[in-house]
Structure 1
Amino acid sequence: MGYLRFSLRIALLFIALFACVPFYYIWRILRLSNPWPRTFLKIAAFACGARVNIVGTPIRRDVFFISNHLSWVDIAILGGHSGTAFVSKEEIGDWPIIGWLCRLNDTVFVSRSDRMGVADQINQLRDALEETWAITIFPEGTTSDGSDLLPFKAPLLKVLEPPPPGIIVQPIFLNYGVNADEISWTGDETAPANAWRLLTRRSSFLVEVHFLEPFDPDHYSGRKNIAAEARRRIAEPLSASLGGKPIV
């Protein structure tokens, strides 16, 4: 049954991909606001078993979402239900197929070593915002198991120093509840092994996407303070979901 579930879910992903990509390029040629990456990601999240409950009100445009990070399926969930683009590590852009899909969704690839490329990255952000109106950053820099919140890496927020004019930051708390440990991708598990485990699950899983109170990054001096404020706001509901466990 695991092989059957895997095959059906992969088939749905490929059907969605082949259905959406031609329309994506048509919309791109016509210079229209492009809904097809969001459509594909929403179907992808469903195919992976995610059943999404939105809590709070997402800002619709000119927004940086800052989110905790448990799994690669976070991208499908957030992209499919908000239309956001993402900031990602530069090396992911070189991955076969995945890098291409990321570019279709206007992903901004950030180099941690190329300090001279910051201006180009800012220009990429502006282009992505014109297309999607929203950008998401996972400042933990990696995935966790949902039982804690890793330190936020301020260098990943260098694109907010200074913030583009008119941009608001809205923290997001992804809550997989009792399924967090099973869905998360941590430790030494390979990407294929994690994908196999997720796509062969017997049942769907609920994930709550909490759009938290937004704030103006111009009120905070520098990316370290922006990161600290976003982390504080995400830590509060995470602690509550864990029965009051302190988040250091």
Structure 2
Amino acid sequence: MTLRAVFLLLAMALWLAVCAGLHLLVRRFGPSPWPRRLLRGVGWLAGARVRTIGPKPSGSTLMVANHVSWLDIPMLAGAADCAFVAKDGLRGHPFMRWLCEENGTVFVERERRGSIGDQLRAMDEALRSHKPLCLFPEGTVGPDGKMLPFRPALLKIAEQSLVPLTVQPVAVDYGPLAAAYGWPAGETGQANFLRLLGRKGRLEVTLHFLDPLAPGQDRKALAATAQRAISAALGVVPEPAAAAA
């Protein structure tokens, strides 16, 4: 672990203590801005400097974004005040689970097809809140920052949501540093986190909030259309959309 990583970990711990205390106080009286401020500060301390282009989402919006790094989460939350759809494995870490739940995270088990109904109901409930909900349809980060095919299963929420729903693609653009900030095969989550904290210099990232998708499309069409829009914004050739239901 580098000296820089140690310093940033201490700074993040201090920022967490400040934000958690203020959040626990403010949430008694209504929605708290402190989860967003916590995540935005984490991204800033890690060196991310974010520029946004396009209309930011409002409530009842399902954001569909490409996934490059764990840094996507603090940057998107800081810019759009969104909650996230996350892998159920985070439930096993009590501290991380608390942080996720305070920001309105919806946990899903992607490999348990029988639980899709419960997952969609949880997403529908989250979309009724004041926050947009962000989904990474790749399901994981790609190798060397490359985009994987979009999986359409959870986009079924757009077919059956009980609330008026907008689906908005968001392109997370790391520019030439996408590969450096990606998650190489064989690297543990802890090693990846510490490696990125140890990098010197700033990371200039652009978040492209793209035009919402036309309503009435089925989940497979939405996945393919979102991936094409994001690929175009990033200037890359899209991978074929996943065939999974």
Q: CA RMSD in A?
A: 2.0
* Partner residue of 1:158 out of 156, 161, 180: 156
Which residue pairs with 1:246 in the alignment? 237
Alpha-carbon displacement from aligned partner over 1:89-141 (angstroms, at most 9, x marks no partner) = 11222234222211111100112355554454344334433444200000001
Question: How far is 1:172 from its partner?
Answer: 0.6
Runs of 4+ in 1 over 6 A off after TM superposition: none
Alpha-carbon displacement from aligned partner over 1:2-33 (angstroms, at most 9, x marks no partner) = 73211221122111110111222223322x12
* Partner residue of 1:219 out of 216, 220, 226: 216
Normalised by the size of structure 2, how large is the TM-score? 0.89
Task: Note if 1:28 corresponds to 2:14.
Answer: no
Q: How many residues align?
A: 239
Task: Note if 1:6 corresponds to 2:2.
Answer: no
Task: Check the 8 A contact 1:34/1:131 in 2, yes or no.
Answer: no
User: What does residue range 63-212 of structure 1 map to in structure 2 within 5 Å?
Assistant: 63-115=61-113, 117-145=115-143, 148-212=146-210
Task: Check the 8 A contact 2:124/2:161 in 1, yes or no.
Answer: no
Which residue pairs with 2:242 in the alignment? none
Task: Check the 8 A contact 1:145/1:185 in 2, yes or no.
Answer: yes
* Partner residue of 1:62 out of 60, 73, 87: 60
- Unmatched tracts of structure 1, length 5 or more: none
Amino acid at match of 2:152: A
Identical amino acids, percent of aligned pairs: 34
Change (3 A) 1:123 1:48: same
Secondary structure of the residue aligned to 1:97 is: helix
Amino acid at match of 2:17: F
Task: Check the 8 A contact 1:87/1:110 in 2, yes or no.
Answer: yes
Amino acid at match of 1:56: G
Task: Check the 8 A contact 2:64/2:169 in 1, yes or no.
Answer: yes
Secondary structure of the residue aligned to 1:136 is: strand
Secondary structure of the residue aligned to 2:9 is: helix
Within 2, Cα distance between the matches of 1:191 and 1:47? 18
- Unmatched tracts of structure 2, length 5 or more: 240-245
